[in-house]
Structure formats: structure tokens, C-alpha cells
Amino acid sequence: MTGNILVFIERREGDVKRPALEALSVARRLAEAGGARLDAVALGSGAAETAGKLGALGADRVLACEAGFLDLYAPEAYAATVAAAAKSADAAVVLAAATSMGRDLAPRVAAKLGAGMLSEVVELEPGANGGLVAKRPVYSGKAVARVSIAGTPAVATLRPNVFPMGEEQPGRAAEVVEIEPGIPEDRVRARVVRLEKAAEQELDVAEASIVVSGGRGLKGPENFALIRELASALGGAVGASRAVVDAGWIAHAHQVGQTGKVVSPDLYVACGISGAIQHLAGMSSSKVIVAINKDPEAPIFKVASYGIVGDLFDVVPKLTEEVRKLKA
Ligand code: FAD
């Protein structure tokens, strides 16, 4: 591969988001394979402070744009700044996590660079003649496509929770290079003005390594307490099927599936969820799937690693109790 590798570092309230660190580890592997330099680009106040963590995880340089108007996402300004950073770093490959922000940003950067774009990949390797070869789920996860970009530059987004985070090498440091915003503040036409957190401080399903989800089998919104208790005992996030989101039992932020979030946790527990294809599209790449359903014919059992045929009102409290005992 000729040229370097650049990773976009997504931050929220100053903290680097875990999927960005997963992308950084993949980038480290590509950089080592191609003898390339690995740069990370971080935007907004405190961007340069990420250099310690990013250096320990493999970044050679952190391109830091400290402009305060980039503290929150502004699509045009972020795309212009990342594209300019890619050009100045002579980047052959630009990677970002396939989070909501990464999915919005990466194609804009690709368009500015005139680069090929691979979205939401679950495997990524260097191509034979430069470029990239990747695998990505298609048709709601029913098939996996092998896709490639022959030339460079190439841009790709990586599905969160699929790639492991690299080992930190304490003491390894990244050089900080200050960069300017790609456009001035007065040319920004659209930007996020504030973040409103959900009332409850809950883990985001898309980022959690354990997700416990509830469906219509719960019978009513009050019974989500069972799901929350199991999720909290396991240290996981609460997910949901669309049926219960549409019924107003829980907020859309929890919905897993084709029109919700795509999750790939280490453990996914589906309680009272039938396993419609649109739900499977959002969770079938989970590493271990446990399904609890009273109908032995429920389609969720086709993708489950472990199936419990039973009444969730019996099974879930018992599981919660056992998990608490084990953790005590
Ligand atoms: P149901 O299908 O009603 O299943 C309830 C399950 O609970 C049943 O299997 C039943 O056996 C079991 N059950 C009942 N009582 C108990 C009990 N006491 N103990 C144990 N088990 C019990 N769905 C999504 O989830 N995410 C999406 O993003 C999504 N996007 C969609 C997009 C489109 C365009 C369309 C058309 C649909 C979409 N859907 C999505 C909806 C999807 O088709 C299903 O309708 C939905 O997933 C069903 O939700 P459910 O499994 O909770 O409910």
C-alpha cells in the first residue's frame, strides 16, 4: 500500500468513543502490513489530549483541530476538516466507525477525496494492488458480500463491536500536529447545537458488549423492569423490538433491527421476541445469542446459540438471581 492510514476519532464530551478505538486497532494492523504511518484525526476542544491514549493504542500522530465550533458534530465542517487532514497526511485509507456520526461523515469525506467507499464492514484486509478488500452483511444480514476497492484513496466504516480493541502499549506516544478547520465557522450551515441525554443514564445498545432485549412477550411496559434488572445484573444495555417501541413501551433509542440500531455484542439475550427478519437484521451478528420464548417454533431459536423454551416471567427473574449470585 502506498500512502498512510488515517482514522477519524469520534468523541463525546471529550471522551474517545470505543468504536473509534476499534477502528484504530484495525488501522494499526493495516499500517503494519503496508509499512505505513498511522494518523488519527480528532476534532474540537481538547483534541490534542487524546494523544496519550491514541499513541498507546498505535497512532503515530494525532492531527488535532482544537476549534471550539467543532465540539459538536457539524457535517460540512467535519467532512472538510477530515478530508483536508487526509490530503495533508497523504492518506491512502481513511477509516471511521459505523456509528450514526461515522455513517454520516465517511461518505462526505469519500466524495471530497474522490475515493471509493465501503460501508459497515465486518472484515477488512489490504487489497492485492493497494485499496481494500472487505466483507459486509447485505439483505438485512441474510448474506455477506465480499467487496473491494481497487485503488486509493479508499474510505471504509467499520461496524462497532465486531473488531477487537488492540492492547495498549504504555509509554508509547503519538506526536501531536495541530491542524486548522477545513472551513471557517461562518460557512457552517448545519450543526448539532446541543446533546440531550435520555433521562435515565443508560448504556447505548449499539456500544454495549451485553444487550438484554424485550419484545411483545412482556405484555406491557411495566414489565420492562424484568429486562432492566437482568441487564443491570449483567452490566449490559436494554434493547427492544420494534413492536414494543411502536406501542410506546420504551424509547426508539433502544430499538434493535433494520429500522433501529445494529448491534454485535458479545452476548445478546432476547426475551419474548419472535425473531422477525427485521429484528434479526440488527442482532444476528452477536457473538452469543440466548433466546427465551414460550413458543418452541419461534424463528429467534434459528439464530440462537442457547434457547430456553419457557415463560419469560419465570425464566428472567431466575436468571437475574443466578447472575447476581455468581457476581456476589
Ligand atoms: P411478536 O412478533 O409479537 O413476538 C412476541 C414473542 O413473544 C412471540 O414469539 C411469543 O411466543 C413470545 N411470548 C409471548 N409471551 C411470552 C412469555 N410469557 N414468555 C416468553 N415468550 C413469550 N422489528 C424490530 O424488532 N426491529 C426493527 O428494526 C424492525 N424494523 C421493521 C421494518 C419494517 C419495514 C417492517 C415491515 C417491520 C419491522 N419490524 C422491526 C417489525 C417486525 O416485523 C416484527 O413485527 C417485530 O420485530 C415483532 O416484535 P416482537 O418479536 O416483540 O413481537
pLDDT digits (tens, 9 = 90+) for 39-80: 999 999 999 999 999 999 999 999 999 999 999 999 999 999
pLDDT above 80: residue 2: no
Contact 239, 231 (CB under 8 A): no
pLDDT above 80: residue 197: no
For residue 139, the model assigns a pLDDT of 83
Residue 221: DSSP 8-state: G
3-class SS of residue 30: helix
What is the Cα–Cα distance from 21 to 39, expressed in whole angstroms?
13
What is the Cα–Cα distance from 286 to 23, expressed in whole angstroms?
18
Residue given cell 420494534 in the structure block: 242
Give the pLDDT band (50/70/90) at residue 295: very high
The share of the chain scoring above pLDDT 90, in percent, equals: 85
For residue 253, the model assigns a pLDDT of 92
Query: 99 CA to middle of ligand 1, Å?
Result: 24
Give the pLDDT band (50/70/90) at residue 199: low
pLDDT above 80: residue 130: no
Q: What is the pLDDT of residues 223-266, one digit of tens each?
A: 999 999 999 999 999 999 999 999 999 999 999 999 999 898 99
Contact 281, 257 (CB under 8 A): yes
Between CA 26 and CA 33, with CA 32 as vertex, the angle to 5 degrees is 90
Query: 261 CA to middle of ligand 1, Å?
Result: 15
Average the pLDDT over 294-318 and give the result.
Answer: 98
> Which of 139, 294, 318, when mutated, tests ligand 1's pocket best, judged by the most ligand atoms within 8 Å of its CB?
294
- H-helix or E-strand spanning residue 226: helix 224-234
What is the Cα–Cα distance from 72 to 14, expressed in whole angstroms?
10
Average the pLDDT over 191-213 and give the result.
Answer: 85
For residue 259, the model assigns a pLDDT of 92
Q: Cell digits for 232?
A: 443491570
Average the pLDDT over 88-104 and give the result.
Answer: 96
Contact 289, 303 (CB under 8 A): yes
For residue 200, the model assigns a pLDDT of 61
> Which of 140, 212, 216, 256, when mutated, tests ligand 1's pocket best, judged by the most ligand atoms within 8 Å of its CB?
216
For residue 1, the model assigns a pLDDT of 55
The share of the chain scoring above pLDDT 70, in percent, equals: 98
* Pocket of ligand 1 contains residue 313 by CB under 6 Å: yes
Average pLDDT, the chain: 94
Count Cβ atoms within 10 A of the Cβ of residue 123 and give its class: 0-12 exposed, 13-18 middle, 19 or more buried: middle
Q: Cell digits for 14?
A: 471529550
3-class SS of residue 272: coil
For residue 195, the model assigns a pLDDT of 86
Query: 277 CA to middle of ligand 1, Å?
Result: 9
3-class SS of residue 81: helix
* Pocket of ligand 1 contains residue 294 by CB under 6 Å: yes
| Peptide bond between residue 75 and the one before it cis (omega within 30 degrees of 0) | no
For residue 188, the model assigns a pLDDT of 95
Contact 320, 230 (CB under 8 A): yes
